[in-house]
Structure 1
Amino acid sequence: MRGGKTTQKGGRTPILSYDVIVVGAGSMGMSAGCYLAQRGVKTLLIDSFDPPHTNGSHHGETRLIRHAYTGSPTYTNMAIRADQLWRELEEASGETLLIRCGVLNLGAEGVPSLDDKRKRAADFGLAVEWLDADEIRKRWQGLAIPDSFRGLYEREAGCLLSDACVLAYRRQALAHGAVLLPFTPVREIKVESGGVTVYTKAGDFTADKLILSLGAWFSTADRLIALPIRAVRKAVAWFEADDTLFDAERFPGFTLHDAAGGYYGFPSIRGSGVKIGRHDAGQPWKPGDPFEPFGHDRQDEEDLRRALETYMPLAAGRLLRGTACKYEMTPDEHFIIDRHPEHRHVYLAGGFSGHGFKFASVVGEILADLVTKEETEQDIAPFALSRFGQASRTTE
């Protein structure tokens, strides 16, 4: 393998040593591995599957990227930086990773999240428009929204091609000397003051530092750190739509909040149909349990179809396909980006709560900064593990 130093103890199998081991090479882990490798850091990426894959939180082809955010201003700062990094990855890879179709945030007038996004956009000077129902229906004739709805339209927002993004980071990481072990579940992690040892079926590996980015699988590391993250099964689906109204060249990505809940979706990309998912609800899941495919629950389709029939009836055609994915939720739906409370050479990135993918580029940069410089220009105080109090303790 490239990048590793070999040591041997007492006639045992040689142990390969690295500067950093990343356990969990999905969106955040692969991004971190890429930026570390680019800085000349000897990096080993380990994943139980073969990223990009369908067992984590990044599959399903597309994710929204938008900049006007509720909550801490650090989200908007990070979204702006993330967008720049996605553009740089596009240039380096020569691939299209982002479709700038705009994003329309919809909801009834007075919905707090819309007002907060509008204020944040003004604070940061973002290119947005505040639209009433008449103007929305005029611009996008496929929308059948009530007069009480308002919209915040972000012209520079759009859709990330999530699987392609992870693959582009993978290729860049390997090109810069990172080593990837796919299909390699971790059996045990031993942390000592001088470094870490990771035990796998492919061998044992040591490193000075460790990044854990396990997504919905974080509970498998409970012996090392018990994080307040729960995994949730979510359904998304693509429906046949009138492409003269809903093609990505004519229709934006969207978020939609009504009395029934919160939804998000995407225009038809190259005839894919309109994709829609629901941010709230979902079924609890934990590693080791069966993960039911789309359609196991009749609500998988019915709930999503109801939203389209109500607000986009010409996008509520036959079901083209559906899939089930995993959210990794924290109690407050904000991220965890921090160091282990007892082992400062162990870094944690998780709990991205269904809205993290757009930030994968900047989260990878943040982790690379913490590993190499022990600081980052981004304000990650809102993501500190200590906000959960006792939840930050290890179980040992």
Structure 2
Amino acid sequence: MMKSFDTIVIGIGGMGSATLWHLARRGQKVLGIERFDLGHSMGSSHGLNRIIRLAYFEHPNYVPLLRRAYELWREAEQLTREQLLFVTGGIDAGTEDSQIVQGALMACREHDLAHEVLTARETTQRFPGYKLPDHYAIVFQPEAGFVASERAILAHVSLAVAAGAEIHGREKVIAIEPANGRVVVVTDKDRYEAGRVVVSAGGWISDLIPALTTKAVPERQVLGWFLPQKPDLFRPEVFPVSNIKSEVGHFYQFPTWGIPGFKIGLYHHFHETGHADELSREPTPADEEALRKGIRYMFPDADGPTLRLATCLFTNTPDEHFVIDTLPGAPEVVVASPCSGHGFKFASVIGEILADLATTGASKLDLSLFNMKRFEETSAVLE
């Protein structure tokens, strides 16, 4: 007889692990299925940490979700007795008329967020690791920082298991078959049924949701850690996280943590897209040089030996906003992500939202920015 569950969660990364916990804590009989190992490095959430910030330049509608995300990260910390959220302050910088600066200011003003507007000289005086061009405007957010992403996934998994969740690693989902108000999930090992299925498969989501084939495009990214020439300038106490739209690229930065190196990434690294199984996970000298270009331009005191390079995936929508919705024509299927490279900070609250959608069909938070109907393929069904 086929094993039955209230909800099955496909993909136990940032979003899926949080969803599994929120469902299990509500007393649901839940199954989580992960095609790789738990905490693997094939997707979007490895590399130690991810930035979290309230002054969201992408759109002010994200701010209420972020406020709830902070609350839930703190709750997970209390329950696991492990720090997951580290507040360092954060910087958004670029030319004064850039979207990154104006968008951050709009979010701050609309939601009454604490912030300061600094000059490049004032920024260097306060945070000497930063050497930004004189014509840049800088928005400083005291509540920004980073989430320990790898720890956070395992923390959510541990909480879910403690609440009764069942989890299968190294099991690949082959098909999702909704029928008569329930869903059958077919894997390379078994078949299961459930009242609802949450698909949070990251870079592989279009394999299971064909309507997203052209709307959820995996992109290769590379992260780098470099030993600073002046290590004291890049400690978490004196170096805030940052997003900087510069003349040499849009870079994002972290202080030294976990690995004794300054961490940097370049948004839309080389614009390399393709199927998630086909994108190279091996960093190259060209990848390193692209990151060093940003270091030399803005962080010259961090231009030391390479400690580590790692690849990860963005899965981008055309407008770079998330997908959080039930599948048109199949409300038993809840679709989560792709998050276009800026989603992990929301994992705690998206897990709660997805649990709401799976159990009640609605969320108290505004999800209008994330519906699937905004795409051309409005008649999406499983094929």
TM-score by length of 2: 0.96
CA deviation after TM superposition for structure 1 residue 35, in Å: 0.2
CA deviation after TM superposition for structure 1 residue 145, in Å: 1.5
CA deviation after TM superposition for structure 1 residue 248, in Å: 0.9
Confirm whether residue 394 of structure 1 aligns to residue 381 of structure 2.
yes
What do the CA deviations read for 1:344-394 (whole angstroms, capped 9, x no partner)?
111000120000000011100001111222211110011010001226523
Residue 188 of structure 1: SS of its match in structure 2?
strand
What's the counterpart of residue 116 of structure 2?
129
Confirm whether residue 363 of structure 1 aligns to residue 343 of structure 2.
no
Closer, same or farther in 2 for the Cα pair 1:392/1:383, shift >3 Å? Answer: farther
CA contact (8 A) 2:13 2:39 kept: yes
Q: Which of residues 309, 312, 319 in structure 1 aligns to 2:299?
A: 312
Q: Which of residues 24, 47, 50 in structure 2 aligns to 1:60?
A: 47
Confirm whether residue 119 of structure 1 aligns to residue 106 of structure 2.
yes
CA deviation after TM superposition for structure 1 residue 84, in Å: 0.8
What's the counterpart of residue 29 of structure 1?
16
CA contact (8 A) 2:57 2:99 kept: no
What do the CA deviations read for 1:253-297 (whole angstroms, capped 9, x no partner)?
1111112321101011155211000112431130342524112xx
Confirm whether residue 273 of structure 1 aligns to residue 248 of structure 2.
no
What's the counterpart of residue 42 of structure 1?
29
CA deviation after TM superposition for structure 1 residue 339, in Å: 0.7
CA deviation after TM superposition for structure 1 residue 111, in Å: 1.4
What's the counterpart of residue 278 of structure 2?
289
CA deviation after TM superposition for structure 1 residue 395, in Å: 6.2
CA deviation after TM superposition for structure 1 residue 249, in Å: 1.5
Moved over 3 A (4+): 222-227
CA deviation after TM superposition for structure 1 residue 101, in Å: 0.9
Tell me how far apart the structure 2 counterparts of residues 302 and 225 of structure 1 sit (CA, whole Å): 33
Closer, same or farther in 2 for the Cα pair 1:107/1:154, shift >3 Å? Answer: same
Q: Which residue type is aligned with residue 232 of structure 1?
A: E
Residue 334 of structure 2: SS of its match in structure 1?
strand
Q: Which runs of 5+ in 2 are unaligned?
A: none
CA contact (8 A) 2:207 2:213 kept: no
Identical residues among aligned pairs (%): 35
Q: Which of residues 133, 143, 163 in structure 2 aligns to 1:176?
A: 163
Aligned-CA RMSD value? 1.5
Alignment of 1:94-173 (within 5 A): 94-173=81-160
What do the CA deviations read for 1:301-349 (whole angstroms, capped 9, x no partner)?
0111011111110111111110010110001100010111111111000
Q: Which residue type is aligned with residue 293 of structure 1?
A: E
Closer, same or farther in 2 for the Cα pair 1:195/1:224, shift >3 Å? Answer: farther
CA contact (8 A) 1:226 1:395 kept: no
Of 104-113 and 219-228, deviating more is: 219-228
Q: Which residue type is aligned with residue 239 of structure 2?
A: F
Q: Which residue type is aligned with residue 156 of structure 1?
A: E
TM-score by length of 1: 0.93
CA deviation after TM superposition for structure 1 residue 72, in Å: 3.6
Residue 330 of structure 2: SS of its match in structure 1?
coil
Closer, same or farther in 2 for the Cα pair 1:343/1:243, shift >3 Å? Answer: same
CA contact (8 A) 1:336 1:351 kept: yes
Alignment of 1:11-30 (within 5 A): 15-30=2-17
CA contact (8 A) 1:74 1:378 kept: no
Residue 284 of structure 1: SS of its match in structure 2?
coil
Residue 331 of structure 2: SS of its match in structure 1?
coil
Q: Which residue type is aligned with residue 61 of structure 2?
A: T
Tell me how far apart the structure 1 counterparts of residues 354 and 37 of structure 2 sit (CA, whole Å): 22
Q: Which runs of 5+ in 1 are unaligned?
A: 1-7, 9-14
What's the counterpart of residue 241 of structure 2?
253
What do the CA deviations read for 1:102-146 (whole angstroms, capped 9, x no partner)?
111121222122112112112212121111112111111222212
Confirm whether residue 378 of structure 1 aligns to residue 333 of structure 2.
no
Tell me how far apart the structure 2 counterparts of residues 72 and 395 of structure 1 sit (CA, whole Å): 30
Q: Which of residues 333, 341, 363 in structure 1 aligns to 2:320?
A: 333
CA deviation after TM superposition for structure 1 residue 219, in Å: 2.5
Size of the alignment, in residue pairs? 381
Q: Which residue type is aligned with residue 244 of structure 1?
A: D
What do the CA deviations read for 1:142-186 (whole angstroms, capped 9, x no partner)?
222121012111111101100000000000000000100000001
What's the counterpart of residue 264 of structure 1?
252
Residue 20 of structure 1: SS of its match in structure 2?
strand
Q: Which residue type is aligned with residue 339 of structure 1?
A: T
Tell me how far apart the structure 2 counterparts of residues 279 and 35 of structure 1 sit (CA, whole Å): 31
Q: Which residue type is aligned with residue 112 of structure 1?
A: Q
Q: Which residue type is aligned with residue 283 of structure 1?
A: E
Confirm whether residue 204 of structure 1 aligns to residue 204 of structure 2.
no
Confirm whether residue 217 of structure 1 aligns to residue 204 of structure 2.
yes
What's the counterpart of residue 5 of structure 1?
none
CA contact (8 A) 2:77 2:83 kept: yes
Q: Which residue type is aligned with residue 212 of structure 1?
A: V
Tell me how far apart the structure 2 counterparts of residues 159 and 288 of structure 1 sit (CA, whole Å): 28
What do the CA deviations read for 1:31-85 (whole angstroms, capped 9, x no partner)?
1110000000111000101221101110110100000112443201111110111
